[in-house]
């Protein structure tokens, strides 16, 4: 397995719920190291740009409004098989269908307000990491 980087977002609903700590704890328990982390508040244009791949979808406008509704935390995570591992840790898009113990099961409210984002593949991850982080914002380090 390869060491991979992926982009994670703690979405506005999870920040409102006060579960930032629980979510980051799950990342670390899964051996996904946060190597970059910041809080920011997307405006509509920036949320549209991040989710441009979904611009034809019926839910696009609602998704953009939701993601611009409050602050988010973006993290670059690094770990073995990191992209897939973070998707498993999150659970299915719809919390109703997410596995027991997954973050979306525990903290998601509905298919839109589902607590967390994760890249869906290595190429997407590269685009999404670069969307939020400069190379100098990332701190590769060894576990001791
Ligand atoms: P994922 O986040 O699991 O990769 P998608 O890329 O398909 O899922 O969708 C991006 C985000 O758009 C979802 O996380 C969710 O917030 C929202 N979304 C997806 N499907 C729907 C839907 N049917 N109705 C409302 N919002 C949706
Ligand atoms: Mg997706």
The pLDDT of residue 3: 93
Block mean pLDDT (10 aa), the chain, length 144: 94 98 98 98 98 98 98 98 98 98 98 98 97 96 81
Which ligand 1 atom minimizes the distance to the CA of 113? 16
Distance between Cα 118 and ligand 2 center (Å): 7
CA dist., res. 99 & res. 89, Å (int): 9
CA dist., res. 36 & res. 82, Å (int): 14
Is 44 tagged catalytic? Answer: no
Provide the token pair at 13: 């609903």
The pLDDT of residue 2: 86
For ligand 1, is residue 69 a contact (CB within 6 Å)? no
For ligand 1, is residue 102 a contact (CB within 6 Å)? no
The residue written with tokens 């696009």 in the block is: 60
For ligand 1, is residue 5 a contact (CB within 6 Å)? no
The pLDDT of residue 143: 78
Paired with 39 in beta bridges are: 73
- The pTM (predicted TM-score) of the whole model is 0.98
């Amino acid at each position: 397995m390869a060491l991979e980087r992926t982009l994670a977002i703690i979405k506005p609903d999870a920040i409102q719920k006060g579960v930032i700590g629980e979510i980051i704890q799950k990342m670390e328990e899964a051996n996904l190291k946060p190597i970059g982390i910041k809080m920011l508040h997307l405006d509509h244009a920036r949320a549209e740009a991040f989710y441009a791949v979904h611009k034809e979808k019926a839910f696009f406008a609602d998704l953009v409004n939701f993601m611009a509704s409050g602050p988010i935390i973006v993290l670059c995570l690094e770990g073995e098989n990191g992209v897939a591992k973070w998707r498993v840790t999150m659970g299915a898009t719809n919390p109703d269908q997410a596995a027991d113990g997954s973050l979306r099961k525990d903290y998601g409210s509905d298919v839109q307000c589902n607590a967390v984002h994760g890249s869906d593949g290595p190429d997407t991850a590269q685009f999404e990491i670069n969307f939020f982080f400069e190379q100098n914002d990332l701190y590769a380090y060894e576990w001791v």
